[in-house]
């Protein structure tokens, strides 16, 4: 990883390594089950899964941008946004990512990309309308830290196994396992494949959620230390969270699938579950920023 001036986080690094280890272990288990149960069909399944993995990893930024309605903008089209990104990249000593805007009233931002040279940072129009310049820089610094720490790429890889688990289930059914009456163990094989896929999906989901919550706290800390203005980031968090609560439910539902990428989660208070959340609570984030402000001697 290219060095930047963002504060390193050994806790984040160890969690990313641990997550990838267990995701890899799960992948080995899945491959073993495929080899034993799907016989000749497993080669086709692995080829398809491998192609999807490569496509998701190499084109994750474009996929995310398209899915969230982001459009790349030039410095002439968005001078203030580009100016903020320019200042932060110079301060962090990192390459400037592509800059985009998403037409959405939900105030939020996200970053994506497999490395610093192939990254993008995006802000919604709702965020740009609501934040003061210092608050916007705090949010952008948070997103840039995800790129610098490469946790965006890890999240992309880690989430893939859940997709693969679904593919395995469909492939087992499509391949005709269980339709041959001469195979006395066919029905059991189908149940095993389905059960393994469900378990793999559940474990990968929990692993990515645990990593996602920690990486948000890490990004808050890195952004606050880089800018030296934890209070501005805290103000942005409070404002964004409060404004999201006023957004129509239909708009929030459209944004919910991308919560793991966003600066703050889009959710309905009634259905929000802390265990399944992709982000730490607002109280946890503000408490950490308060401690950083005390360390820096800032109000």
Ranges of beta strands (E only) in the chain are: 70-72, 98-102, 109-115, 118-124
C-alpha span between 116 and 162 (Å, rounded): 26
Q: Of the candidates 114, 68, 101, which has an alpha carbon nearest to the alpha carbon of residue 258?
A: 68
Give yes or no: 295 in active site. Answer: no
Phi and psi angles of residue 105, each rounded to the nearest 5 degrees, phi first: -80, -10
Q: Of the candidates 75, 85, 90, 159, which has an alpha carbon nearest to the alpha carbon of residue 123?
A: 85
C-alpha span between 155 and 296 (Å, rounded): 31
Output the CA torsion sign for 243, 268, 253, 20. positive
216 labelled binding-site residue = yes
Q: Of all helices (H) and strands (E), which one includes residue 296?
A: helix 282-296
Give the burial class of 222: count Cβ atoms within 10 A of its Cβ; 0-12 exposed, 13-18 middle, 19 or more buried. Answer: buried
142 labelled binding-site residue = yes
Q: Of the candidates 211, 225, 214, 209, which has an alpha carbon nearest to the alpha carbon of residue 289?
A: 225
C-alpha span between 283 and 238 (Å, rounded): 10
Half-sphere exposure at residue 222, Cβ-oriented, CA atoms within 13 angstroms? 28
Q: Of the candidates 154, 112, 122, which has an alpha carbon nearest to the alpha carbon of residue 16?
A: 154
Asked if residue 151 lies in contact with residue 12, where contact means CB atoms within 8 angstroms, the answer is yes
Active-site position among 76, 135, 137, 143: 143
Active site residues: 143
**Annotated binding site for Zn(2+), which residues?**
142, 146, 216
**Annotated binding site, which residues?**
142, 146, 216
């Amino acid at each position: 990883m290219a060095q930047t001036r963002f504060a390193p986080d050994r806790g984040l690094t160890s969690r990313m390594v641990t997550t990838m280890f267990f995701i890899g272990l799960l992948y080995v288990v899945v491959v073993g089950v495929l080899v034993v149960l799907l016989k000749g069909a497993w080669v086709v399944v692995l080829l398809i899964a491998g192609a999807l993995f490569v496509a998701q990893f190499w084109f994750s930024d474009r996929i995310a941008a398209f899915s969230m309605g982001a459009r790349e903008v030039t410095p002439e089209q968005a001078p203030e946004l580009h100016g903020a990104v320019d200042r932060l990249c110079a301060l962090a000593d990192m390459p400037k990512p592509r800059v985009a805007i998403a037409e959405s009233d939900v105030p939020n931002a996200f970053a994506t990309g497999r490395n610093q040279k192939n990254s993008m940072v995006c802000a919604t129009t709702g965020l740009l309308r609501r934040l003061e310049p210092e608050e916007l820089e705090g949010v952008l610094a948070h997103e840039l830290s995800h790129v610098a720490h490469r946790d965006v790429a890890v999240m992309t890889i880690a989430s893939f196994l859940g997709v693969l688990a679904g593919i395995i289930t469909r492939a087992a059914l499509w391949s005709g396992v269980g339709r041959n009456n001469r195979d006395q163990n066919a029905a059991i094989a189908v149940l095993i494949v389905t059960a393994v896929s469900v378990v793999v999906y559940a474990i990968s989901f929990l692993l990515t959620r645990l990593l996602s919550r920690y990486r948000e706290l890490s990004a808050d800390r890195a952004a606050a230390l880089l800018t030296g203005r934890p209070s501005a980031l805290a103000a942005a968090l409070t404002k964004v969270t409060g404004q999201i609560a006023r957004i129509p439910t239909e708009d929030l539902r459209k944004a919910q699938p991308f919560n793991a990428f966003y600066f703050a989660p889009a959710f309905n208070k009634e259905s929000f579950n802390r265990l399944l959340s992709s982000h730490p609570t607002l109280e946890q984030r503000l408490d950490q920023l308060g401690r950083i402000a005390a360390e820096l001697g800032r109000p």
